[in-house]
A and B are shown apart, each in its own frame.
Chain A
Amino acid sequence: MTAAAAFFYLFAGITIASGFMVIASRNPIASVLFLILAFVNAAGLFVLMGAEFLAMILIVVYVGAVAVLFLFVVMMLDVDFAELRQGFQQYLPVGALIGAIFLVEILLVVGSWTLDPGLVQAPLGNVAAGENLTNTVVLGRVLYTEYVYFFQLAGLILLVAMIGAIVLTLRDRPGVKRQNINVQNARTQGAAVENRKVPSRQGVEV
């Protein structure tokens, strides 16, 4: 057994095990953490297949953004997971049926799907024949040259999303105490400290 095969079984085993733990774990926070573990191991599987760009994207997008969003939602919303779990037994047959259908479909697709041999040889973007480049380099070459227009447009869309989120949620709340560093720095000893004579057995009024 080669090292690659060993790593494959390691990553695949952990992915499946943590996938199971996502639905089996009692604590929703633990579920999300197991989900992250599953993502990271799936990224490892991608690296083994030579798809290093997909692996990094999986980490950045799914672990960095989606899973953290899940964590936020789980922590901020008061979802009663015990209640959600009610009727698990009742819906089990339907769930198992849908799962079985998916499994059969995936098996059919994997079993009958072939890649056009012409596609493998097809030139990709600006890569000359015989050049040995990683996926990331090849993608970068077309993304910033041929598809620069789409790239910039996508950037504008993200800008709109950001402005939109600020417009719809940012509001001035009256009566909130905020830190003002200028005011803090401008405070002198005279304004902050007061010396008082304390008469014996009487104390001072605060």
Chain B
Amino acid sequence: MPTVQTVLPSLTPLLPELVLAVGVMVLILYGSFRGERSVEGVNVGALLLLLLALFLVMSQPAGTKVTTLSGAFVQDAFSKVMKSLVLLGSAATILLSRDYFQRAKIDRFEFPILIVLCTIGMMVMVSANDLIALYLGLELQSLAAYVIAAFHRDDLKSTEAGLKYFVLGALSSGMLLYGASLIYGFTGTVSFPGIVSALHEDAGFGIVLGIVFVAAGVSFKMSAVPFHMWTPDVYEGSPTPVTAFFASAPKMAAVAMTVRVFIGALPDVTAIWQQIFVFVAIASMTLGSFAAIGQRNIKRLLAYSSIGNIGYALIGLAAGSEEGIRGVVIYMIIYLAMTLGAFAILLSMRRRNEMFETIEDLSGLSRTHPWLAFCLAMMMFSLAGVPPLAGFFGKFYVFAAAIKAGLVTLAVIGVVTSVVGAYYYLRVVKIMYFDEAKAPYEAMAPGLRIVLFLSSVVVILFWLLPAPLVGAAGAAAKSLF
């Protein structure tokens, strides 16, 4: 009998993921034995699990880069920051969802479980150090996301959103996989460090084709133009807390995954993919600002807004430099806060069990709910990029990085489109402050209050103490170069 020597790989860097995976199985057992009575307990349990994982991620050492599991998993400062954002987005989703799901009578214990499973997938994506881990993480995340998009299954729009997301998502996964297989075929390895050493400046046509397909696949997941068509429909059709989730945590993971692939595995062929992302950034910013103008539904408006915001974040990636990646990370931190805040307000627009989601329903909000209106106005000013709110700094860092990298045209187009975008953000403020007041909405649920408070603090007071976040983003970017 031949003996096989194996050493158990170091699992310490994997601890947050392991805690989530084991915890979610306990929750599944608890939920399936107790049935519908367990909803409250599973929600609390999932929230505590996510916060525990957040604590574990935060307490990981930031200075060193650790790879484990045959090099498939990497833990560094970048993964630390992006995983924290992912976990915050997921935890906020559970807080946002409680009240909505109870009233919509779709309060089932599977929702928090799917959110946690989705989060594991996103953390795998963020920490991926080879193409197989990347794809498996992406599939785990996407599959859970398709299901929760259709979670309100008796609602025609929700099922349509789930189906649309599934069909288009499967297509984009196929494209990503095809690109990955081409890269594997032409470099002979799936691990990112291996690809780096196998590639040099004059990469062949096969590599270029592979990069284009991978870029198409990740653009879909980030909902960047020209692979954005699913975004408005899925955002509008899904239950609102699910939309808040799609706009927050998976975006973080998709951007982190894109940075990992293109900065981590393909740094020597920047010239090939830089033009792709310059085009994608310009197209996303332009479409995001012009198409949002005609929207009346706030969810669709936020969908186009997220397309535009991804465009701005990609400016930093297109720069391809350490400053650029720092800009991307700062942008994503601030985008997370703005998005969650805006969705917390959208979820509180309710009168006698009826949700309102058009912009006209906000009219005169400043008289009925002055604080709510103030917070939303701050979110909108921040999304438009008005100083001294957080959104301004997010844009500032990516534009500065682009100019430093010689992409002046890209930065100028970014500034112009953000002026166009300001029109529809400020229109919301005008409707809230100067239009006829409507009947007041019901009081906010406690979960919504917590999310809105935290995100407002980040958005409004970022300029007072930017050092910790900017420092963390700087360390994250540094760990990649």
Contacts and interface: CB of A to CB of B under 8 A. Distances in A.
Contact of A154 (B4, B6, B108, B136): B136
Nearest to A146: B70
A23 interface: no
A186 B367 CA distance: 64
A153 B140 contact: yes
A64 interface: no
A148 B151 CA distance: 32
Contacts of B151: 167
A168 interface: yes
A150 B114 contact: no
A147 to B, nearest CB: 7
B72 A156 contact: no
B117 A159 contact: yes
B21 interface: yes
Given A153-B124, A156-B117, A164 B136 contact: no
A148 B153 CA distance: 36
Interface residues of B, number: 33
Nearest to B31: A163
A72 B271 CA distance: 52
Interface in B92-148: 108, 110, 113-114, 117, 120-121, 124, 132-133, 136-137, 139-140, 143-144, 146-147
A156 B120 contact: yes
A160 B69 contact: no
Interface in B124-178: 124, 132-133, 136-137, 139-140, 143-144, 146-147, 150-151, 153, 162
A80 B144 CA distance: 35
Contacts of B110: 163, 166-167
Contacts of B227: none
B355 interface: no
Contacts of A154: 136
A131 B136 contact: no
B28 interface: yes
A160 B114 contact: yes
Given A153-B136, A156-B21, A167-B108, A161 B70 contact: no
A7 interface: no
Q: Could you say which of B108, B146, B147 has the most chain A C-beta atoms within 10 Å of its C-beta?
A: B147
Interface string B306-334: 00000000000000000000000000000
B28 A163 contact: yes
Contacts of B162: 168
A128 B114 contact: no
A157 B69 contact: no
A167 B144 CA distance: 11
B4 A126 contact: yes
15 contacts: A126-B6, A146-B70, A147-B132, A150-B132, A152-B21, A153-B124, A153-B136, A160-B143, A160-B147, A161-B143, A164-B114, A167-B114, A167-B151, A167-B153, A168-B162
Given A149-B133, A167-B151, 17 more contacts: A146-B70, A148-B69, A153-B124, A153-B133, A153-B136, A156-B121, A156-B140, A157-B139, A157-B143, A160-B140, A160-B143, A160-B147, A161-B143, A164-B144, A164-B146, A164-B147, A168-B147
Please list the 4 inter-chain residue pairs (A to B) with the smallest Cβ-Cβ separation, ordered nearest first. Answer: A164-B147, A153-B136, A149-B69, A167-B110
